[in-house]
Structure 1
């Protein structure tokens, strides 16, 4: 575990707000005390297991059973995937909210405060409600024993949604799907976003194994929407859907989209549905459930000039996946008209995903932490540059990663863009130190630009800023925690920006 920062103090800082750090008391506990209890549970976010063996739904089923199964008191959409599940979830939530429904949203991880994980109608759970729920659920969790942090937060969200009369909740899987705590829900629609190799020690070392774990959210008779997948992954999902009688819609085949405009403010696109009933890619396996999904939307559908304020071709795929899920939801009673669709997509927010914080000099925060997400970031930057929407003479890459990531795979797609590389460490318990990043990078067969070291993301931004020219760019990435701390450091810098080096 060389180079990892596993001390509890750093985790407390990463997991709390300013109000918590000054000890605001909301009853018998402060918010920080409530957080301290949550983080004191078995926490796979700080110390992930070596195998999938510690994961089990039995304990969590017992937990929610003692809480009178709150997840059975509202409808839900369940979303799994390797990349894009948060963006896709946020789009579904935004459209349902624009249609007038009372919508819960459970997501993970968070950027700045764990309150972000539990939202109703776009608003985070309050510190007061967070404390009350911790105090109420703690005796139940302690009686069961070995409840994990994620299980506790998931149970909190279900109780909160049920007691706040949420009509429908958008529930994002934490890790995998089959054994994830969220998999107790019986959704109206299941969604699987693009799959790639990730968390291989727990989910499996092949894309087929990962597809089987993610496909564990497929329920008997519940419609499934799948984003475009590698063929072998799609075959696994098709088999699982056929075995469980889950009507299946495939984005990229009968749901297609075309981008029509690109600006730094977002993208415009058209989307079309054609009810094709032939076999899905890879043969006739799953053809029956495929035809049933098409039958659920018997007529062609087309919507033009839709707009999302998120950048990257991958976000149009995510939006199309969200639209397919929303169309199937209409068949299950949750109606969304064209106006709600447009308003929801146009106002969706999902920070730290190719988030442009400044245009000149260009400053971008992105939470890319896998080879697939890093490749998407690199492709988006190249695309924006080719379109003349951004330009830079030098690109400063501020990069930090967590201990269990394949460093070469994540940083590799970004290095050809970088003129200067600053290796840094976020305040996450599993963050690699700059020295360890340097050692690992030296061992990789990569062409690397000049390297600088900074102990913190704030120091990394200050270092880049001290040498920045107006025609330079700064990209802060490698993990969601680096992107989050970069966003905060940038905001603080706006109060006292300091000089930018002028080119001559």
Structure 2
């Protein structure tokens, strides 16, 4: 027993010395990646089935999550875009706005922003140094520690409000320790079935776990299979519930250049409102309705947000918040688009969006992680495209040769490439100026080609 205790003390001391001697932001991240299980890299083994570690970390930080107001956003698809739109609106209205999202594309600090600016490297290093003993004792996951870091930063900087995006699920997600001004759930689709459930109602019940006692909840999209789950949960919590697509009706929508123009009718007020989004995916229409219903509730709560604020913010979401990877056009000839869509519903939206684009030949760079139901997703892709199957440089990535074989079985023709960069280079060599290149399937594939 004494020997085991001594080994434990030595390990703690070694970890402490490693942290104290850190010289840079990069070394801090290397430490965090090496020491803490990270879901986006290793998958389900990093997912914790309770909030114990998060609560323990926040206890050491004297409960920073209760020192600022929040909005909580969950859903299978669209929660990232929705969170960024809400953040842009609050920023445009003059509020000091925190934004917590995941995963990141290029820099860890993308996860934690205030008014669009990423958390400083110095804060990440200092927070890790200050928490090193608790990191050793509590052994949190990467995500659990990141949530605590974000809440501490928002407390330190005294934000007026923070938009908090759920990482996975809702009920057991590390972010589910807040009592927000309102909750927002975008939609429900099959994803992470091994952790959230095999049916849409089971998955919806996990997402509905963010609904709090007496706190209004907005559901962006009415889905008959799960509608009762949300209604029953909201009633049990005495939480007013609003289905956004029942409150707003599309009058017209069109993509012009890099913008999505929407004309929506407020059914209650019988008033038309026109918006131009710099997020030009047609699928953003559903997310916008959820955001607009949220805005109306926030106005009723006393937040000074005008429709002029909303219109200006929605036309500058990328500039205000730094959002990337959502139908992200990075080149015109050939048209090259990046989209982080990666599950059944996300790919369906991408394929529908392709129907609004003119091109000669379609080239698709695609890679997936191992725990996605790839066999169900691949048949959704157009059979006339040429495919560049690739593997992101993370342990969780699906082998590119295996993916190519699965693609062939689904009628998709192409070749395998060891990296996303190699796949994109090959696509560019084959594509003509009037062709289109689409990169999708995984955050990590998109990140590597950026």
SS of the residue 1:231 aligns to: coil
**Residue matched to 1:20:** none
What is residue 404 of structure 2 aligned with on the other side? Answer: 438
What is the rounded CA distance, in whole Å, between the counterparts of 1:316 and 1:162 in structure 2? 33
1:201 paired with 2:194, answer: yes
CA displacement at 1:146 relative to structure 2: 2.6
Offset of residue 411 of structure 1: 2.7
1:55: how far off? Answer: 1.6
**Residues in 2 aligned to 1:256 and 1:71: alpha-carbon distance in whole angstroms:** 36
* Secondary structure of residue in 2 paired with 1:95: helix
TM-score of the aligned structures, taking structure 1 as reference length: 0.81
Matched position secondary structure for 2:71? strand
Partner of 2:64: 70
Q: Answer whether contact 1:26 1:128 (CA < 8 A) is retained.
A: no
Counterpart residue number, 2:431: 468
Residue 47, structure 1, aligned to residue 11, structure 2:
no
Residue by residue over 1:364-392, the C-alpha shift from the partner in whole angstroms, topping out at 9 and shown as x without a partner, is 1111110110110010111x23xxxxx22
In the alignment, what sits opposite 2:412?
448
Name the CA distance, whole Å, in 2 between partners of 1:96 and 1:76. Answer: 11
Give yes or no for the alignment of 1:428 onto 2:422.
no
Q: C-alpha distance in 2, partners of 1:320/1:304?
A: 11
Instruction: For residue 147 of structure 1, give the secondary structure of its aligned residue in structure 2.
Output: coil
**What's the offset of the Cα at 1:332?**
2.1
Indicate the SS of the match to 1:181.
coil
8 Å Cα contact 1:38-1:152 kept in structure 2: no
Q: 2:288 aligns with which of 319, 328, 340?
A: 319
Shift in Å, 1:50: 6.7
**Other-structure match for 1:12:** none
The TM-score, its normalising length taken from structure 2, stands at 0.91
The answer (yes or no) to whether the contact 1:411–1:478 under 8 Å persists in 2 is no
Distance 1:47 1:303, change over 3 A: same
Secondary structure at 1:481 match in 2: helix
- The whole-number CA distance in structure 2 between the counterparts of 1:367 and 1:402 is 12
Match of 2:364 among 397, 410, 426: 397
Q: Structure 1's 70 and 301: CA in aligned 2 closer, same or farther, altered over 3 A?
A: farther
Whether the 8 Å CA contact 1:307–1:345 is kept in 2: the answer is yes
Query: How much has 1:415 moved relative to structure 2?
Result: 3.0
Q: CA deviation at 1:120?
A: 0.3
| Aligned Cα root-mean-square deviation (Å) | 1.9
Say whether the 8 Å CA contact 2:37–2:46 is kept in structure 1: no
Paired residues for 1:259-298 under 5 Å:
259-275=252-268
In the other structure, the counterpart of 1:256 is 249
Give 1:342-357 correspondences, 5 Å limit. Answer: 342-349=311-318, 350-357=323-330
Question: Which is worse superposed, 352-361 or 89-98?
Answer: 352-361
Change in CA separation of 1:343 and 1:325 when aligned onto 2, cut-off 3 Å: same
Q: 1:248 and 1:301 mapped to 2: Cα distance?
A: 20
Tell me, in whole angstroms, the C-alpha distance in 1 between the residues paired with 2:46 and 2:135. 24
Per-residue deviation, residues 323-382 of structure 1 (Å, max 9, x unmatched) = 111221122222211221111111002311111112221111111110110110010111
Q: Which residue of 2 aligns with 1:33?
A: 27
- Distance apart, 1:207 and its partner CA: 0.2
Partner of 2:255, secondary structure, is strand
- Cα deviation for residue 27 of structure 1 reads 8.1
1:244 to 228, 232, 237: 237
- What residue is the counterpart of 2:373 in the other structure? 406
Query: In structure 1, what is the Cα distance between the partners aligned to 2:141 and 2:415?
Result: 38
What's the secondary structure of 1:252's corresponding residue? helix
What are the Cα deviations for residues 174-229 of structure 1, in whole angstroms up to 9, with x where unaligned?
Answer: 00000001000100000000110110000000000000000000001000000113
Asked if structure 2 preserves the Cα contact closer than 8 Å seen for 1:407 and 1:441, the reply is no
Helix, strand or coil at the partner of 1:45? helix
- Whole-Å separation in 2 of the counterparts to 1:148 and 1:261: 43
**Mapped partners of 1:422, 1:229: distance in 2:** 36
Residues 266 and 273 in structure 2, CA contact (< 8 A), matched pair in contact too = no
Structure 2 unmatched ranges of 5 or more: 1-18
Contact 1:57 1:180 in 2 (8 A): yes
